[in-house]
Amino acid sequence: ARDAALSTLAFPFGGFRPGQRPLAEAVYKAASAGRCLMAQAPTGIGKTMGTLFPLLKAAPTQRLDKVFFLAAKTSGRQMALDALARLADSAPALPLRVLELVARDKSCEHPDKACHGESCPLAQGFYDRLPAARAAALQPLAGSERITLHQAQVRSAALAHQVCPYYLSQELARWADVVVGDYNYYFDMGGLLHGLAQANGWRTALLVDEAHNLVDRGRKMYTAELRPEGLAQARQSASASRYPAVKKALDKVRRAWVALDKQQAAAYAVHEAFPEDLLAALQLCGNTLTDHLAEHPAEPDAALQAFYFDALHLVRMAGLLDAHSLVDVTQPKAPSLPKAARAPGSSTLCIRNLVPAPFLAPRWEAAHTSTLFSATLQPQRYYTDLLGLPEDHLAIDVESPFQAAQLSVQVARHISTRYPDRKASLAPIVALMARQFGDRPGNYLAFFSSYEYLQQAAALLAERHPALPHWSQSRRMLESEQKQFLARFTESSEGIGFAVLGGAFAEGIDLPGRRLIGAFLATLGLPQVNPVNEQVKERMQALFGEGYDYTYLYPGLQKVVQAAGRVIRTPSDEGVVHLMDDRFGRPEVRALLPTWWAQSGR
Ligand code: SF4
């Protein structure tokens, strides 16, 4: 019934938006050929519907069991759920089961408990009550064929039957046609969706939203880190005090850690392999804790469990160590730290993944078809190399629906935002902002490389142009504070919002029309030069022959283009982008800017 309804499914809007049809056709063709597609498509063309609709249309002929829509951020997941709801509205007879997977910390009803029957009431007797809870969740909405497995519905079915909503949603993955969730549900080492697909032989299709994020997210997933406070808390735990075997195993790790630190005089050191003695101690400790936790399930000990999982992950990644990762040990050498915090045994141990490709490649292979899409996937080889896309993958660069005349791109060659020039750059930056605002009052965003730089510029603007309204992003803003920041951008307001590049306001926010008419970029977004990034550069040079570009230039410019992309959101928007650094005039930098900007007045 599902496949029959999908075969006749019509596009839910009157027509495709400009650029949306070629994207949809490319996704359909990739699905039909069982290939992987890398799709660069500009903001505003409706990428979510433009990828979901053709994939669902291809599902019957390609005998797809499941579509996994994987996103880096909540906003991406919400857009997918909205698009799927829109499709369901347009085809009430379509029996499509859409499941939303939500992280444990957002769906747990008892965050102070451990996930087993001896500790949490919603885990106790879970499997006895699961069939009834599942049946309740899978009830169609009154008067339609629609089965909605979004967070709210799953929670209500779970609580009605006294089972855990988090684990109920995971159980429902088998019954869903489309699953919408974070990247980690498929790409993580133990990714639930990948595991289920393998175990059940499902034929799957992947949609990877804002896929440029997968480089950093992949690196995080395949990195293992041990921090000294994790071990200290485990050693101070109730279990360590009560059970000598636990204490002994943790003490052994501590001794090996101290011995390692005593051999390291430098603040930062890279090792060929993970230090043997410490690895052996961690393996032994992992075995001891596995036995202990199995024998004492009724004694939840968060600190011990956290260290246990970190240690297991590290031991596992040590076994998979190759050129894709490096082992580094960082000592807390800052003289401002108390002496105890700098004592041996205080280092951070890391198996740092730099190239997620070897871990991601089998995941693409396991899927029948995959589409990675984003507005910024340039240069293609950077993403192909780091994301491990199959040799025969397809690629499309969807033309922008926007006209060069909509966006004036200005390069301020008289400004340098290089670190030593920052102080001198403040006055010309502020003068340029004030001049632009005077010429065309309205709402602007100004992006800086750090909070410190941002605050210095904001202070000078306040001093020299006290009448010019402005507001600033601050560190660790709460969600409500972020909303307040954005709420200042209205159709009738005027002012400049100061933000950091790569932060919450540089990507994924939508301020169409007069809500945003321009952006100032006082940075190329280049990652900081530090010992870790210099190691990354060396490895990128060895593996791909482009050390500097793969480490600094490409990731930096990707952020610049994302941030500048906030200005033009619809074909009727008009705006200006000021690129405030002489390096924006260089050919290798200009080559990384969107082609549709090229004809504007630079
Ligand atoms: S079983 Fe569910 S509700 Fe209970 S602690 Fe675990 S995640 Fe939370």
CB 44: neighbour CB atoms within 10 A?
Answer: 22
In a domain, 247, yes or no: yes
CA–CA gap between residue 255 and residue 262 (Å, rounded): 11
Closest by CA to 521, choosing from 548, 558, 494, is: 558
Tens of pLDDT, residues 165-199: 999 999 999 999 999 999 999 999 999 999 999 99
Q: How many domains does the chain have?
A: 4
Q: What rounded mean pLDDT belongs to the chain? A: 93
Asked whether residue 411 falls in the same domain as residue 422, the answer is yes
* Residues ≥6 apart with Cβ < 8 Å to 126: 117, 163, 164, 167
The pLDDT of residue 601 is above 70: no
Asked whether residue 246 falls in the same domain as residue 169, the answer is no
Domain boundary among 375, 401, 427: 401
Per the structure block, which two tokens stand in for 52?
Answer: 């979901």
What's the whole-number mean pLDDT along residues 470-496? 94
In a domain, 233, yes or no: yes
Lowest mean pLDDT among 29-38, 141-150, 331-340, 382-391: 331-340
For ligand 1, atom 6, the nearest C-alpha belongs to 115
Which ipTM did the prediction report? 0.99
Tens of pLDDT, residues 30-80: 999 999 999 999 887 889 999 999 999 999 999 999 999 999 988 899 999
Rg (CA), the chain: 26
Tens of pLDDT, residues 207-246: 999 999 999 999 999 999 999 999 999 999 999 999 999 9
CB 7: neighbour CB atoms within 10 A?
Answer: 11
Using the mean position of ligand 1's atoms as its centre, give its distance from the Cα of residue 493 in Å.
45
Using the mean position of ligand 1's atoms as its centre, give its distance from the Cα of residue 166 in Å.
7
Using the mean position of ligand 1's atoms as its centre, give its distance from the Cα of residue 571 in Å.
47
Domain boundary among 339, 369, 401: 401
Say yes or no: CB of residue 116 within 6 Å of ligand 1. no
Asked whether residue 456 falls in the same domain as residue 569, the answer is yes
CB burial readout 492-510, b (16+ within 10 A) else e: eebebbbbbbbbbbbbbbe
CA–CA gap between residue 205 and residue 171 (Å, rounded): 20
In a domain, 238, yes or no: yes
Tens of pLDDT, residues 515-570: 999 999 999 999 999 999 999 999 999 999 999 999 999 999 999 999 998 998 88
Asked whether residue 481 falls in the same domain as residue 566, the answer is yes
Say yes or no: CB of residue 120 within 6 Å of ligand 1. yes
**Residue 92: pLDDT band by 50, 70, 90 thresholds?**
confident
Q: What is the pLDDT of residue 132?
A: 96
Say yes or no: CB of residue 113 within 6 Å of ligand 1. yes
**Residue 265: pLDDT band by 50, 70, 90 thresholds?**
confident
Closest by CA to 253, choosing from 219, 304, 302, is: 304
Closest by CA to 58, choosing from 91, 30, 20, 22, is: 30
Asked whether residue 237 falls in the same domain as residue 186, the answer is no
Strand segments, DSSP code E, in 13-126 are: 36-40, 66-71, 97-100
* Residues ≥6 apart with Cβ < 8 Å to 338: none
Closest by CA to 307, choosing from 253, 353, 371, 352, is: 253
Q: Give me the domain span that covers residue 248.
A: 224-353
Tens of pLDDT, residues 395-422: 999 988 888 889 999 999 999 999 999 9
CA–CA gap between residue 52 and residue 45 (Å, rounded): 13
Ligand 1 atom at shortest distance from the alpha carbon of 164: 2
Asked whether residue 410 falls in the same domain as residue 319, the answer is no
How many CA atoms lie within 13 Å of 497's alpha carbon, on the beta-carbon side?
Answer: 33
Using the mean position of ligand 1's atoms as its centre, give its distance from the Cα of residue 175 in Å.
21
Q: What is the pLDDT of residue 15?
A: 84
Q: What is the pLDDT of residue 562?
A: 92
Asked whether residue 543 falls in the same domain as residue 427, the answer is yes
Per the structure block, which two tokens stand in for 265?
Answer: 């005089």
Q: List C-alpha distances in Å: 527 to 224, 354, 380, 477, 583.
A: 21, 14, 20, 22, 15
Say yes or no: CB of residue 102 within 6 Å of ligand 1. no
CA–CA gap between residue 315 and residue 444 (Å, rounded): 48
The pLDDT of residue 599 is above 60: no
Using the mean position of ligand 1's atoms as its centre, give its distance from the Cα of residue 106 in Å.
11
Asked whether residue 293 falls in the same domain as residue 170, the answer is no
CA–CA gap between residue 354 and residue 548 (Å, rounded): 14
> Which 3-state string (H, E, C) describes 3-20?
HHHHHCCCCCCCCCCCCH
Say yes or no: CB of residue 118 within 6 Å of ligand 1. no
- Cα 328 to chain centroid distance, Å, stands at 24
In a domain, 602, yes or no: no
CA–CA gap between residue 539 and residue 534 (Å, rounded): 9
Percent of the chain scoring above 70 in pLDDT? 99
Asked whether residue 395 falls in the same domain as residue 253, the answer is no
Using the mean position of ligand 1's atoms as its centre, give its distance from the Cα of residue 562 in Å.
37
Per the structure block, which two tokens stand in for 360?
Answer: 């991601």
Say yes or no: CB of residue 122 within 6 Å of ligand 1. yes
In this structure, which amino acid lies at residue 101? L
What's the whole-number mean pLDDT along residues 324-344? 82
Say yes or no: CB of residue 110 within 6 Å of ligand 1. yes
Query: Which CATH number covers residue 385?
Result: 3.40.50.300
DSSP-derived secondary structure for 519-577 = EEE----PPP--HHHHHHHHHHHHHHS-HHIIIIIHHHHHHHHHHHTTS--STT--EEE
In a domain, 59, yes or no: yes
Asked whether residue 89 falls in the same domain as residue 11, the answer is yes
Per the structure block, which two tokens stand in for 221?
Answer: 């997933």
DSSP-derived secondary structure for 413-436 = TT---SGGGHHHHHHHHHHHHHHH
Say yes or no: CB of residue 158 within 6 Å of ligand 1. no
Q: What is the pLDDT of residue 329?
A: 96
Asked whether residue 162 falls in the same domain as residue 294, the answer is no
For ligand 1, atom 7, the nearest C-alpha belongs to 108
In a domain, 62, yes or no: yes
Which is higher by pLDDT, 40 or 332? 40
Q: What is the pLDDT of residue 588?
A: 93
What's the whole-number mean pLDDT along residues 109-125? 89
Asked whether residue 19 falls in the same domain as residue 78, the answer is yes
Closest by CA to 495, choosing from 472, 478, 464, is: 472
In a domain, 109, yes or no: no
Tens of pLDDT, residues 570-592: 888 899 999 999 999 999 999 99
**Residue 598: pLDDT band by 50, 70, 90 thresholds?**
low
Lowest mean pLDDT among 86-90, 335-339, 365-369, 541-545: 335-339
Using the mean position of ligand 1's atoms as its centre, give its distance from the Cα of residue 81 in Å.
25
- Omega before 121 within 30 of 0, i.e. cis: no
SS3 81: helix
In a domain, 332, yes or no: yes
Q: What is the pLDDT of residue 9?
A: 82
Q: List C-alpha distances in Å: 590 to 275, 383, 445, 514, 555.
A: 44, 19, 21, 27, 14
Using the mean position of ligand 1's atoms as its centre, give its distance from the Cα of residue 219 in Å.
28
